Structure 1
Amino acid sequence: MFVLAILLLIAAVVLFVVGRGRTGSWKLGAALSTVAGILAGAFACFYVVSAYEVGVPVTLGSVGTPLTSGVHFKSPFTDVTSFSTRPVDLDLHDKDTVEVRSAQGGVLYADVTIKWAVVPSKAVALYRLAGSEEAIQERLVVPDSREIIRNVFAKHTSEEGYASAREQIGSEFDTLIKERLAPRGIDVTAVNLRNVKPSNKLQEQIDKKIQQEQATERATEGARTAKAEAERKRIEAEGIAGANKIIERSLSDKVLYNRCLDAYKEAAKSHPVYAVPCGTDSGGTPVIVDGSKS
């Protein structure tokens, strides 16, 4: 704006000099250029900082105090660089996804969203470090975040990275990134680990491991079942053996003799009268059984 004011004033002088011996239109043009140059010069001395922004004034290479929201008077030789203080979403996904390696060397791809904002009181320091809002993200937020993400994943196994410890890993990101960027004047409000995808080679290894674990579980279950069945048969055999011992102790010769008589009486119902050897030894006394009598 200040350069435009100078050019308009130069144009006014030229028009005035050239039009001194001519019609009044030249003088009118010189007058209008003069007014426009003065207005442009006046506007060059004011700068408006929008809401949710902070301005960093630089006068001939010297950095001044940050400008808050509102209208500010400044030197025509002062340039103001504005930084938004609203949170900015940095999405590391698709072509920007972070390639990491686990403690076992497996390759994974992490999609992360980082919400960050410029701390107004640190705007001058950030200007000296980066120079613009875009440069802050590209030179500070992105490389530092990528480094921390890789370091955190390197402390965990592949399984923890894509499944069991994702919440813990996300919490570590949040803490470490905030600690790294806060001293530089960058306020990280949230870090979200949105997705973790294994590489194709790692996915094959994971699938193979799952199949081996399933086979091991099936074998273990089969062994457990066989052991239980063997135990059941052992208990059953011990029960039968115990019962036989009880029966053996309770069967005296007289008891056996009476049972023998009862059996042949039952058989005599179909063969009314016959003789049977029934005694306590092989030469036992024959017994006549008549099934026709009560």
Structure 2
Amino acid sequence: MSALPNPTKVQVKKPGRVIGLGLTTFVGVVFAFSSFYTIDEGHVGIVKRFGEAQQQVNPGLHFKVPMADTVEKLEIRTRKNVEVLKAATHEQMPVDIDVSINWTVVRSEAFELYRNYGGLEQFENRILDPRLRSAAKDAIARYKAEEIVQNRGQVIGKIEEIVVQTMSEFPVKLDSVQIENLGLPAKYLQSIETKQTEKNLAAAEKHRLERQKLEAQREVNTAEAKRDAEKARADGNAYAIITEAQAESEAIRIKGLAEAEAMKKKAEAISKSPLLVEYVRAQSWDGKMPSTMMGADQNVLWNLQAQKQ
């Protein structure tokens, strides 16, 4: 009797082997994904290997060594820090002040900043904030309270000047210092309000006096203009009278000269012609003979009428 063939042997995989294969695949996938990372815009990456900073990378997709490398993202966009502090003015008046500053990490020096100071928050707490507070107190102490209120821009400029000077050695760019809030004692604020009211009243009174002065000057100008007009009119009349008198005088003079010239010529003509003398006498005779030849008190009389009788 022939032997029956052996049935086909079914190979069954062991459960542990399957689990091991799956785990290996999973780990490989995890390692593959953990080897790549991205840096967003506005940031740089600080690559650390076993905790030691190695290099700086820019925004984009990058590769790292799994399990060995870690990446810290460092913001290089403008940040704003606000410090709330108490200070004293030049006359030792206490003030509460909120001061802010905008600052930016210099991209090319971000790695040095991280390696020396750790991160942005540590840099702010250890370096920037203390210097900002010191600069604000220093600047406030140089001005009186009234000057701070009236010339806030000048005070801000002084704070910015001091903080920029003290931060010049660090790899950051500073700008836009602002006084967010300035708290002064209530009594001082009341005194400022009273003083401002007095200034406003004084300004109003000065304006009123200036207006009165202008009105008075306008009246003076009007009176002077009227006086000048009357004087000009009087001068014109006087000039006309003088001119007329001068003309009349000249006419009389010319007429007199003409008459004198005529008399002179007449006299010359009479002296040269006896007949003309007789003719003139005849023209002047009224047809009556003279009754006397001598005065009334004379003894000898020539009575022509008696002789005719």
Q: Same fold (TM over 0.5)?
A: yes
Instruction: Check conservation: 1:182, 1:188, Cα contact below 8 A.
Output: no
CA distance 1:165–1:31, shift in 2 (3 Å) = same
Note the alpha carbon deviations across 1:245-288, whole angstroms, 9 max, x for none.
xxxxxxxxxxxxxxxxxxxxxxxxxxxxxxxxxxxxxxxxxxxx
Runs of 5+ consecutive residues of structure 2 not aligned to the other structure = 1-11, 206-309
Name the counterpart of 2:141.
154
Instruction: Check conservation: 2:51, 2:70, Cα contact below 8 A.
Output: no
Note the alpha carbon deviations across 1:3-40, whole angstroms, 9 max, x for none.
xxxxxxxxxxxxxxxxxxx9544322211210111122
Name the counterpart of 1:103.
90
* 1:171 and 2:154 aligned: no
- Among residues 78, 99, 116, which one is paired with 1:112 in the alignment? 99
Instruction: Check conservation: 1:53, 1:69, Cα contact below 8 A.
Output: yes
CA–CA distance in 2 between the matches of 1:52 and 1:216?
52
* 1:51 and 2:38 aligned: no
**Residue 54 of structure 1 aligns to which amino acid in structure 2?**
V
- Among residues 63, 67, 72, which one is paired with 1:73 in the alignment? 63
* 1:131 and 2:122 aligned: no
**Mapping 1:224-239, distance limit 5 Å:** none
CA–CA distance in 2 between the matches of 1:213 and 1:132?
49
TM-score, normalised with respect to structure 1 = 0.57
Note the alpha carbon deviations across 1:158-203, whole angstroms, 9 max, x for none.
2212x122110111222332333353112223212222111x3xx3
CA distance 1:210–1:86, shift in 2 (3 Å) = closer
CA–CA distance in 1 between the matches of 2:195 and 2:156?
30
CA distance 1:119–1:209, shift in 2 (3 Å) = closer
CA–CA distance in 1 between the matches of 2:94 and 2:119?
34
CA–CA distance in 1 between the matches of 2:199 and 2:158?
34
CA distance 1:210–1:87, shift in 2 (3 Å) = closer
Shift of 1:130: 2.5
Name the counterpart of 2:128.
141
Name the counterpart of 1:192.
178
- Among residues 155, 167, 186, which one is paired with 1:181 in the alignment? 167
* 1:33 and 2:23 aligned: yes
Name the counterpart of 1:257.
none
What secondary structure, in the 3-state scheme, does the structure 1 residue paired with 2:169 have?
A: helix
CA–CA distance in 1 between the matches of 2:35 and 2:25?
16
CA–CA distance in 1 between the matches of 2:92 and 2:123?
32
Instruction: Check conservation: 1:114, 1:192, Cα contact below 8 A.
Output: yes
Root-mean-square deviation (Å): 3.0
CA–CA distance in 2 between the matches of 1:80 and 1:213?
59
Note the alpha carbon deviations across 1:196-249, whole angstroms, 9 max, x for none.
111x3xx3256458768989999xx9xxxxxxxxxxxxxxxxxxxxxxxxxxxx
CA–CA distance in 2 between the matches of 1:125 and 1:37?
35
CA distance 1:86–1:213, shift in 2 (3 Å) = closer
CA–CA distance in 1 between the matches of 2:62 and 2:191?
67
CA–CA distance in 2 between the matches of 1:139 and 1:129?
11
CA distance 1:128–1:167, shift in 2 (3 Å) = same
TM-score, normalised with respect to structure 2 = 0.54
Note the alpha carbon deviations across 1:141-168, whole angstroms, 9 max, x for none.
221111111111111112212x122110
Shift of 1:81: 1.3
Q: Which of the pair has more CA radius of gyration?
A: 2
Name the counterpart of 1:89.
80
Instruction: Check conservation: 1:170, 1:192, Cα contact below 8 A.
Output: yes
Give the fraction of aligned pairs with identical amino acids, expressed as a percent: 21
CA–CA distance in 2 between the matches of 1:216 and 1:81?
59
* 1:204 and 2:183 aligned: no
Q: Which shifted more, 138-147 or 180-189? A: 180-189
Instruction: Check conservation: 2:48, 2:55, Cα contact below 8 A.
Output: no
Runs of 5+ consecutive residues of structure 1 not aligned to the other structure = 1-21, 222-294
CA–CA distance in 2 between the matches of 1:42 and 1:65?
21
Task: Say how many residue pairs are matched.
Answer: 192
Shift of 1:54: 0.8
